[in-house]
Amino acid sequence: MSRFLNHRDALLSPEIAQRVAAAIQALSYSPSPMAQALKRGRSRLVGLVVADITNPYSVAVLSGAEQACRQAGFLMMLFNLGNDQERESVGLRVLSTYQVEGFILNTMGLEPGAVVAQALQGRPVVLVDRLRQGLDVDFVSLDNRQAIGACVEHLVEAGYGEFLFVSEPLDRVSSRQERVQAFDALRTSLSGRIEGRWIETHVGDHAGLLSALRDLRARAVRPPALIAGNAVVTMRIVAAVAELGWRLGRDIGLIGIDDTPWAPYVGPGISALAQPTDALGGLAAQCLIERMAGLDSPARAIRLPGALMARGSTRLG
């Protein structure tokens, strides 16, 4: 079919060409875009590998990256790791069989950089949110220091003074580490004005989170508040606060990294530090497209500020 479509005048007589054209119309045949791209030496496919597609952050970044790729004439293929760190190199190899031209990675970042580099087979890659040791490539992320600073400043101005920062397990995940480090630095610099500590919360450890919340309120001299490391932790905290029968804002404050569509409608509204997810996804795609076009320059690190969304969960009274 493809030979006929491309060379009908040279290959067939007018009568036979007309009969073949009628058959094509009857069968609703259309050329394969993949086959056409491969013939030209370009697939125009970009691979996106994410740690957990159920995480609202991953979905939002995917949307921004997909839109930017589409506008540039690229299609995106998604591979979800389901938080299984051992599937990362597998995912890269699977996408490579589809001749993807480059990768955007938002993964756990636990596999050795050398293993990942081997799976990439020399293709360009851009990292989103999480740095990787051993990979000197472009990196796009929230400015985590600015984000935690904005959260703490807002809570202090609102009248809170006893803080608990709650994170998913650090597990060498750079974004989680940066947020904890930023919180520790602020706790030290604001010593005397605020008190605080941080904990990790694991999937299934609901009892441990309940205990930490009870302890925070029991020892608090000043109004206590929670800072959630991401939207997943925010959901766990909301469930724990509801089980304890507390009211957000009055009994305990709450602000989380990541704003979500449901945040304004939970209780009095959940305060959040909104990440510029569309911009992050779009920038990651732009950086990758530039690399696929042959850009050869030192690796870039782009960090964007977040926006504070103040709601009732941080309003005392």
* Owner of token pair 């932790």: 233
What local confidence, expressed as pLDDT, does residue 35 receive?
A: 54
Cα distance between the two ends of the chain: 73
pLDDT at 119: 76
pLDDT at residue 51, as a whole number: 85
- 144-276+308-314 shares the fold of 39-142+279-304: yes
For domain 39-142+279-304, give its CATH number from 3.40.30.10, 3.20.20.100, 3.40.50.620, 3.40.50.2300.
3.40.50.2300
b/e 196-205 (16+ beta carbons within 10 angstroms → b): bebbbbeeee
In sign, the C-alpha dihedral spanning 224, 230, 233, 235 is positive
Q: Residue 197: enclosing H or E segment and its boundaries? A: strand 195-200
10-residue mean pLDDT series, the chain (317 residues): 52 66 67 52 84 86 92 91 79 85 84 72 90 89 97 96 95 92 93 90 90 94 95 95 95 96 95 96 96 94 97 92
Which residue in 155, 148, 126, 169 sits closest to 275, CA to CA? 148
Return the pLDDT at 277.
94
Tell me yes or no: is domain 144-276+308-314 CATH 3.30.70.360: no
The ranges assigned to domains in the chain are: 2-31, 39-142+279-304, 144-276+308-314
Res 272: pLDDT: 98
Please tell me the pTM assigned to this model.
0.83
Residues 6 or more apart whose Cβ sits within 8 Å of residue 242: none
